[in-house]
Amino acid sequence: MNSQASSSDTSYYLPSPSHWPIVGSAALLLLSLGATLTIHDLAGGGLLLLAGGGTLAAMLIGWFGKVIGESQNGLYNDQVDASFRWGMAWFIFSEAMFFFAFFGALFFTRVISVPDLASADNALLWPGFQAAWPTAGPGLEQVFTPMAAWGIPALNTAILLSSGATVTWAHWALKRDRRGQLNLAMALTVALGALFIAFQAHEYIEAYQHMGLTLGAGVYGATFFLLTGFHGLHVSIGTLMLLVILLRCLRGHFRPDSHFAFEAVAWYWHFVDVVWLVLFLFVYWL
Amino acid sequence: MNPSMDTPMDKPLTDPHDAGHHAAPAGLWRWLTTTNHKDIGSLYLWFAAAMFLIGGLMAMVIRAELFQPGLQVVQPDLFNQLTTLHGLIMIFGVIMPAFTGFANWQIPLMIGAPDMAFPRMNNWSFWLLPVAATFLIGSLFLPGGAVSGGWTMYPPLYLQGGISYDLTIFAIHIMGASSIMGAINIITTILNLRAPGMRMMKMPMFVWTWLITAYLLIAVMPVLAGAVTMLLADRNFGTHFFDAAGGGDPVLFQHIFWFFGHPEVYILILPAFGIVSTVIPTFARKPLFGYRSMVYATASIAILSFIVWGHHMFTVGMPAGMQLFFMYATMLIAVPTGVKVFNWVVTLWKGSISFETAMLFALAFVFLFTIGGFSGLVLAMVPVDVQLQDTYYVVAHFHYVLVTGALFSIFAGLYYWLPKWTGHMIDERWGRWHFWLSAISVNVLFFPMHFLGLAGMPRRIPDYALQFADFNRIASLGGFVFGASQILLLVVIVKCIRGGEPAPARAWDGAEGLEWTLTSPPPYHSFAKPPEVR
Amino acid sequence: MKLGRASVAAWLVSLTNASRAEYGFDLPQPQSSVAQTAYDLHVIVLWVCLIIFAVVFGAMFYALFKHRRSLGHAAHPFHESTTVEVIWTLVPILILVGLAWPATQAVLAQKDTGNPDLTVKVTGYQWKWEYDYLQEGVRYMSNIATPRAQIDNQAAKGEHYLLEVDEPLVVPVGKKVRVLLTSNDVIHAWWVPALGVKQDAIPGFIRDTWFRADGVGTFRGQCAELCGVNHAFMPIVVEVKSPDDYQTWLADKKQRLVAAQAAGASAADKTWSDAELRARGEQVYLANCAACHQPDGQGIPNVFPALGGSKVVTGPAGNHLMVVLNGRPGTAMAAFKEQLDDLELAAVVSYQRTAWGNAGGTVQPAAVKAMRQ
Ligand code: HEA
Ligand code: HEA
Ligand code: CUA
Ligand SMILES: [Cu+2]
């Protein structure tokens, strides 16, 4: 701990009381109530969802707006910056564990429960069931075509990988203060993210309309849609965040030596990328 | 491990640290918007106290129904709702928030930080909890009543419920988000906001245990979120995760749940270890015997906790190899936990021991937690567990580790730090009454449950066969006394807040640590300038 | 004095084998080799724990009494010793290895379900058990036999309160019985403590366990996995008979089942009077439906719908029959088409449509038969 001087004349930024958190809580209250009512076809659900979504959006804009303002005003010293880094890293770890639960479900059904259902003992209950993957299970009538890996999914892999490259390019440009390249690379990244989402949406529509592949298509459909769905949600959030970063770049935010927000979003984007690779491997391909 | 403190500054700072200090709002708005770690710590603790009252009252109804055979106080459906809510509220509403309250108050004081790393997020972590609690408790009044499938939420039973089941899933999402944000805050504070000279291996034990607990939280709360999300989908969106007809498996849920659930029980006990490791040296007037090995033991417990979850599922019919693996791994946890117990005992050895209320609770913790640990070991033996799984023996086990473990450590911590927080010494005479009444009645309450379980009484039943009547009556009586004794705690706390003998900065002569260098109560902004640690 | 008796008993818990049956604070007297190993293992692990406990807390209480400030004891601030830490890490490991050894053998024995003499498939229902002797073609339901009045404290409780059934599982003594567990709705657990078996019944999967009863007798247990409102009221009774008695019972049971089946088949072709249907229906109702919908047809608010005045029951008979045949998936309302025959179904539906102020018409078995196709 060398610099006694630097830590005493630059103190850690402590924000003043803020109403955004309580607004956020209200938003989640409304959203959960709205979702519950909607699920049960009760009146008012849609309205509450709308109100909750609006409140949440207001909160995010207000809160992040404030943080961006504070950052632009130079209130954050290096220690605050390090806090943000730790915070973001652990947040991404928590996201990884969320996906771990769903991958766990996928591996469990593929390796344990589906073979078990086809075992000699279980023939008492499900005569004639053969273990195979993909499957809609022994008791459902539903016929479906599984999603092939080498169509849109492979294309989407290429898209995400390129977007990983473009965001790295943008970072490289930012560090060298080449704003033109930065803006271009960021715009490309956002576009690739949007393209990915569009393809994914197309894939879902295909699945539902022509392939019989729905949420109800046994455990294959369940794991397929929840894994790709939550991934798609993360891509959407990531694209939105990249868009915000792009807008900030266009406004001249960030400096070559200080651009944590940019890096955080880039980390997030790489994380989403890695999840996709695992997904591609185990959900689509193998 | 502390990167920023030795990187040179690259930009001038324009604003002092306490940007909005002057404009602190008053009244309710202050508590709704506060970013101060002490305010938020107090909020957490009061919230936990309120939930303790509610969860405890539910337990009183449970014990009243079980006072004698037959149905008299509540019908089975309501009974199951009360059992389920009691479990959920005590775990997610009492123990976890109370420990987070301690973390908020103490960690910045103990490591010499000005506040938590993310003060605004800290506020949000707290204010999510009342939302979740509203869902849980409010669902009692919805058509169909609250969730009644047990706090473990096993499908397919969980798939049969009504509207409150979905509301509960959202409540768990929200509590999970709260815990994850709280944990990220705590980890970041510990890793990044230590005073100069406060190396990792110099941190107080309480800080260490919370660092590891926070890591566990971030690792497993998302897994729980995933599990209940699958429940939500199976309930409402036609998926078949837990339905054999679609190739799913009800047992899959149990695997995911307990992958969360077992680390969760250590989340509920590691901070307790931290508190006890702080209190005992103070009143033995001796340093903790094996600081290093305590740190390593805590870390080992955390690592092992990820590979033992199957011991909750010994009767689902897993292959012998899996049973053996989970049995061995579970038994192994007795080793690092033993290291902790031995270290506490040797810390007492040749000390200069005095028996303030905080110490009494800490000593009772060591003694009674070990009973709970031993019954855990008995349960870890597969052939024995097959007999005892889902009986009152398990209920006895986990109340020993949770009530005389986690809860008693919280009592010890309150008696220990309240003088620091309020500036008044506590009333030891009332405290002692609270201790002895609690310590005796809690054993009358939970010890007979071992016998009930061995003799074959299943858990989660509102009515039982006649041979279980005697011990149930004893347990209920113990329970009523234990519940009533907690009113004394409330009295002590209120008395301590309102007045009493002024507390010096170092309230206990044997106390060590940065928090005791500040006045009692400490200034609103703790360490405006980081203290020097040698 | 109860308290005194209990705490004295507590201290003697593992010491006295004699008093365990009366007080019921230990595992029940084992009646099979599996239960015996579990019992022995529990004694061993309990003793190990008690000894460690005595040593550790002997030391702690010694310190608490001798090394206190009020006696003027000054602190010796020694701390950190790697040797000591290593010792108290290794010794517990050795103890645990010693415990794990017999436990491992017990697990392997417990899991060995091969070469059974008899295989019974047990299916859990909310809230009753079905026993299916696979080789014998004998299949029947086992319901709790404790009257509701006893539960509601309106009648004196019998000796086997909550632990009695109408039709127990009957097995021969000394034979290896393999139990195949599954469930029709939610997870249950089939548990008979004295025989040392507990196995979860997982819907859609077959799980197995086994026991070999050492002596004849009646052994009682309960469902051990929370399965809904009546989880407490789902007992298990196993009657272990001598091989001869078992054969007699089996032959008799078979005969009765065949007779009932024949009666059921011919019943479907016959036309029944309203009174006959209602009388038969009431029996079926009380045996199969009253646990949920209650004997008075009023259900339990918000849990089980009232059938008196129900739109379904007072509406078209076809819909009503559909619900009973196929159940309501995702709720506790099970499909009864496999459980009841045409006459029983017709009767119970007729009964519901005419009882509790409902003014519908009766339904003939032939209608049910037609509906099944
Ligand atoms: C604070 C919470 C907490 C803690 C710390 C523990 C600690 C342990 N638990 Fe417990 N447990 C629960 C909370 C907790 N548990 C809960 C809530 C449930 C029920 C959940 C539900 O179903 O609702 C449960 C259930 C549970 C089961 C499942 C029972 C069943 O449903 O069938 C098992 C089985 O192995 C188990 C084992 C253990 C073990 C081996 C430990 C060990 O960590 C204990 C280690 C400690 C010691 C052993 C004592 C001290 C050691 C020494 C003095 C050293 C020398 C000792 C030896 C060499 C033996 N627990
Ligand atoms: C930390 C957790 C915790 C705590 C503290 C407790 C505390 C108590 N628990 Fe329980 N319990 C669980 C966790 C906990 N429990 C869990 C997880 C389950 C399993 C649920 C399931 O099966 O799904 C369970 C289940 C459970 C059962 C089994 C129910 C069943 O299987 O059907 C029983 C039965 O006796 C019981 C009893 C009690 C009693 C009498 C207390 C008493 O100690 C409570 C006494 C407290 C009071 C009466 C409140 C008094 C408070 C005040 C007066 C205010 C004080 C104010 C301040 C502190 C400021 N609990
Ligand atoms: Cu069936 Cu509990
Ligand atoms: Cu566990």
Give the mutation target among B102, B154, B395, B490 for probing the ligand 2 site: most ligand atoms within 8 A of CB.
B395
All domains of chain B, ordered by start, with CATH? 27-249 (1.20.210.10), 269-524 (1.20.210.10)
Query: A15: which DSSP letter?
Result: P
Q: Does residue A251 share a domain with residue A118?
A: yes
**Cβ(B92) – ligand 2 distance below 6 Å:** no
As to burial, measured by CB atoms within 10 angstroms (0-12 exposed, 13-18 middle, 19+ buried), residue B22 is exposed
Of A40, A75, A110, the position where a domain reaches its end is A75
**Residue bearing the bigger pLDDT, B125 or C292:** B125
pLDDT at A133: 86
Q: Does residue A168 share a domain with residue A27?
A: no
Phi, psi dihedrals of residue C240, rounded to the nearest 5°? -100, 125
How far apart CA B444 and CA B446 sit, in angstroms, is 6
How far apart CA B313 and CA B310 sit, in angstroms, is 5
How far apart CA C70 and CA B302 sit, in angstroms, is 39
Q: Based on DSSP, count helices (H) and strands (E) in chain C, helices before strands.
A: 12, 10
Q: Does residue A137 share a domain with residue A271?
A: yes
Token pair for B383: 């052939």
Reported as a single tens digit per residue, the pLDDT across C202-225 is 999 999 999 999 999 999 999 999
Q: Does residue A116 share a domain with residue A178?
A: yes
C191 part of contact set with chain B, CB < 8 Å: yes
Catalytic site positions of B: 86, 115, 151, 178-179, 262, 264, 266, 277, 311-312, 337, 340, 459
Of A28, A53, A75, the position where a domain reaches its end is A75
Q: Which residues of C touch B463 (CB under 8 A)?
A: 151, 162, 232-233
Q: Does residue A69 share a domain with residue A167?
A: no
Query: Would you say residue B7 has pLDDT above 70?
Result: no
The count of structural domains within chain A is 2
Q: Does residue A89 share a domain with residue A63?
A: no
Q: Which residues of B touch C185 (CB under 8 A)?
A: 156
pLDDT at A286: 82
**C317-332 as b/e: b if 16+ CB within 10 A:** beebbebbbebeeeeb
How far apart CA C218 and CA C212 sit, in angstroms, is 14
Alpha-helix residue ranges (DSSP H) falling in B66-75: none
DSSP codes of every residue in B515-531: GGGS-SSPPSSTTSSPP
Reported as a single tens digit per residue, the pLDDT across C300-322 is 777 788 888 888 888 888 888 88
Reported as a single tens digit per residue, the pLDDT across C85-130 is 999 999 999 999 999 999 999 999 888 888 899 999 999 998 899 9
Token pair for B328: 């061995």
Query: Would you say residue C13 has pLDDT above 50?
Result: no
Q: Does residue A86 share a domain with residue A27?
A: no
Q: Which residues of B touch A77 (CB under 8 A)?
A: 4, 9, 11, 13
Q: Based on DSSP, count helices (H) and strands (E) in chain A, helices before strands.
A: 9, 0
Residue B277 CB neighbours (<10 A): 25
Reported as a single tens digit per residue, the pLDDT across A158-212 is 999 999 999 999 999 999 999 999 999 999 999 999 999 999 999 999 999 988 8
**Cβ-defined contact of A117 to C206 (cutoff 8 Å):** no
Which strands make up the sheet holding C128-133, listed edge to edge?
C138-142, C128-133, C118-125, C177-183, C207-211
Look at residue A12 and tell me if it is in a domain. Answer: no
B6 part of contact set with chain A, CB < 8 Å: yes
Phi, psi dihedrals of residue B512, rounded to the nearest 5°? -120, 155
Shortest distance, CA C184 to any CA of chain A (angstroms): 11
pLDDT at B130: 96
Confidence category of residue C149, pLDDT binned at 50, 70, 90: confident
**Residue bearing the bigger pLDDT, B33 or C25:** B33
Look at residue A7 and tell me if it is in a domain. Answer: no
Look at residue A5 and tell me if it is in a domain. Answer: no
Shortest distance, CA A188 to any CA of chain B (angstroms): 31
Q: Residue C11 corresponds to which amino acid?
A: W
Q: What is the ipTM of this complex?
A: 0.92
Reported as a single tens digit per residue, the pLDDT across B136-190 is 999 999 888 889 999 999 999 999 888 999 999 999 999 999 999 999 999 999 9
Reported as a single tens digit per residue, the pLDDT across A82-106 is 999 999 999 999 999 999 999 999 9
- Collapsed DSSP state (helix, strand, coil) of residue B460: coil
Residue B436 CB neighbours (<10 A): 14
C50 C-alpha to ligand 4 centroid (Å): 22
Phi, psi dihedrals of residue C363, rounded to the nearest 5°? -125, 135
Look at residue A6 and tell me if it is in a domain. Answer: no
How far apart CA C279 and CA C351 sit, in angstroms, is 8
Q: Does residue A83 share a domain with residue A59?
A: no
Query: Would you say residue B6 has pLDDT above 70?
Result: no
Share of residues in chain C with pLDDT > 90 (%): 44
CB pairs under 8 A between A and C: 18
How far apart CA B366 and CA B280 sit, in angstroms, is 10
Cβ(A235)–Cβ(A196) below 8 Å: yes
Q: Does residue A27 share a domain with residue A45?
A: yes
Reported as a single tens digit per residue, the pLDDT across C29-72 is 888 999 999 999 999 999 999 999 999 999 999 999 999 998 98
Give the mutation target among B71, B90, B477 for probing the ligand 2 site: most ligand atoms within 8 A of CB.
B90
**Cβ-defined contact of A12 to B17 (cutoff 8 Å):** yes
**pTM of the predicted protein model:** 0.93
Shortest distance, CA B70 to any CA of chain C (angstroms): 5
Look at residue A9 and tell me if it is in a domain. Answer: no
The CB-based long-range contact list for B509-515 (8 Å cut-off, 24+ gap) reads B509/B285, B510/B281, B510/B282, B510/B283, B510/B284, B510/B285, B511/B282, B512/B281, B512/B282, B512/B287, B513/B110, B513/B204, B513/B278, B514/B109, B514/B110, B514/B111, B514/B112, B514/B195, B515/B106, B515/B109, B515/B110, B515/B417, B515/B420
Reported as a single tens digit per residue, the pLDDT across B341-350 is 999 999 999 9
- Collapsed DSSP state (helix, strand, coil) of residue A255: strand
Cβ(B308)–Cβ(B337) below 8 Å: no
| Nearest CB neighbour to B367, from listed C57, C186, C200 | C57
C24 part of contact set with chain B, CB < 8 Å: yes
Confidence category of residue C257, pLDDT binned at 50, 70, 90: confident
Q: Which residues line ligand 1 (CB under 6 A)?
A: B 152, 265, 268-269, 311-312, 330, 333-334, 337-338, 341, 370, 373-374, 376-377, 379-380, 385, 389, 394, 397-398, 401-402, 405-406; C 52, 56, 92, 95-96
Query: C331: which DSSP letter?
Result: S
| DSSP bridge pairs for A119 | none
Of A75, A106, A141, the position where a domain reaches its end is A75
Token pair for B214: 């926070």
Distance set, CA B102 to CA B126, B294, B403, B414 (Å) = 13, 20, 17, 9
Query: Would you say residue B375 has pLDDT above 90?
Result: yes
**Cβ-defined contact of A29 to B134 (cutoff 8 Å):** yes
| DSSP bridge pairs for C237 | C220
Residue B152 CB neighbours (<10 A): 17
Q: Which residues of C touch A125 (CB under 8 A)?
A: 182, 204-206
Look at residue A8 and tell me if it is in a domain. Answer: no
Look at residue A266 and tell me if it is in a domain. Answer: yes
Look at residue A190 and tell me if it is in a domain. Answer: yes
C167 part of contact set with chain B, CB < 8 Å: no
Q: Which residues contact C365 (CB under 8 A, 6 or more apart)?
A: C267, C268, C269, C270, C272, C342, C343, C345, C346
Counting from 1 in the atom list of ligand 3, the atom nearest the Cα of C232 is: 2
C127 C-alpha to ligand 3 centroid (Å): 6
Shortest distance, CA B17 to any CA of chain A (angstroms): 5
Token pair for C192: 């008979």
Q: Which domain holds residue A175?
A: 77-285
Instruction: List all residues of chain C from 164 to 223 with a beta carbon under 8 Å from chain A.
Output: 180, 182, 204-206, 208
All domains of chain C, ordered by start, with CATH? 5-110 (1.10.287.90), 118-261 (2.60.40.420), 269-372 (1.10.760.10)
Q: What is the mean pLDDT of chain C?
A: 86
Q: Which residue has the least CA distance to atom 44 on ligand 2?
A: B56
Q: Which residue has the least CA distance to atom 30 on ligand 2?
A: B460
CATH code at A58?
Answer: 1.10.287
Q: Which residue has the least CA distance to atom 24 on ligand 1?
A: B398
Q: Which residues contact B188 (CB under 8 A, 6 or more apart)?
A: A83, A86, A87, A90, B117, B118
Cβ(B455)–Cβ(B468) below 8 Å: yes
Q: Does residue A115 share a domain with residue A56?
A: no
Enumerate residue ranges in chain A where pLDDT < 50. Answer: 1-9
DSSP codes of every residue in C153-213: TSS---TTTTS-BSS-EEEETTS-EEEEEEESSS-EEEEEGGGTEEEEE-BT--EEEEE-B
Token pair for B446: 């939970």
For A126, which residue in chain C has the nearest alpha carbon?
Answer: C204
CATH code at A169?
Answer: 1.20.120.80
Q: Does residue A272 share a domain with residue A171?
A: yes
Q: Does residue A212 share a domain with residue A130?
A: yes
How far apart CA B482 and CA B500 sit, in angstroms, is 26
Q: Which residue has the least CA distance to atom 42 on ligand 1?
A: B373
**Cβ(C148) – ligand 3 distance below 6 Å:** no
pLDDT at B400: 97
Phi, psi dihedrals of residue A21, rounded to the nearest 5°? -60, -45
Side-chain half-sphere exposure of C205, counting CA atoms within 13 A: 29
Cβ(B223)–Cβ(B260) below 8 Å: yes
